Amino acid sequence: HHIDPSIHPLFEVRTELKSVDIILITADRGLCGAFNSSIIKYTERKIEEFSSEGLKVNLHLIGRKGLQYFEKFGKNVNIINGFDQVFRKTIDFTAVKTVGESVKGRFLKGETDRVLLLYNQLRTKTSYFVQEKVFLPLSEIMVEGVSENREIVYELEVRNIERFIENLLQRYLNFQLYRAMLESNAAEQAARMMAMENATKNAEDAIKKWTHLYNVARQEAITNELIDIVNAVEALKQAG
């Protein structure tokens, strides 16, 4: 079910698609297993799928790894926005506002007909998955989890209803994007922790293996030396 697009053009579901925008969130750093590579491959498959349907694909890249990859290897894509170093001690809200306002403006101007949001989301403390959401039109994302039998009525007194709705929807878009960045960052930390634990375990296993091989080789060397000494003593006895 859809929300009536007469409320605002951002709710308009377009049947004929010509252009699709993808917001991709990756990490700024590596050493986190397949965290970046898996979602980049997923994005490439989406690009191929849209391109094969004759759609123009535009990218908004948040995170250095995705930006570096598509700047170098991107095919059949147009990079609209690119941000790196957004995941520091706090998330850089500049990226949120810029991308949120950019895709909203492009959708309203008809420069894109659909906006997808791709990011990694935690499933458990030790696993994550690629999450795909429709960012625009809003009717598809805003009805998620809303009960059909639930009637909610709010009475608001505002002087300029159009401006109120405009500001509210922009804040909503920014919030959804910020939430996705928080989810991605949490999944990244979990992925990095798992990668470090695996690296530590592999290092410990390697140390055990090479220590064992060293001890075996050392024991063989000592045994050979003892055999040589015994043989030498026996030879001296026979010579005497």
181 within domain boundaries: yes
178 within domain boundaries: yes
Q: What is the mean pLDDT of each run of 10 residues along the chain (240 residues)?
A: 71 93 95 93 97 97 96 92 87 91 96 98 90 90 56 65 86 95 93 77 80 87 90 83
Looking at residue 144, its pLDDT comes to: 56
With 0-12 CB in 10 A as exposed, 13-18 as middle and 19+ as buried, what is 230? exposed
109 within domain boundaries: yes
224 within domain boundaries: no
Q: pTM of the entire structure?
A: 0.79
Say how many domains are in the chain. Answer: 1
CATH of the domain at 132: 3.40.1380.10
The tens digit of pLDDT for each residue in 29-50 reads 888 889 999 999 999 999 999 9
234 within domain boundaries: no
Which residues form the domain of 57? Answer: 9-194
Pairwise CA distance, residues 191 & 135, whole Å: 25
226 within domain boundaries: no
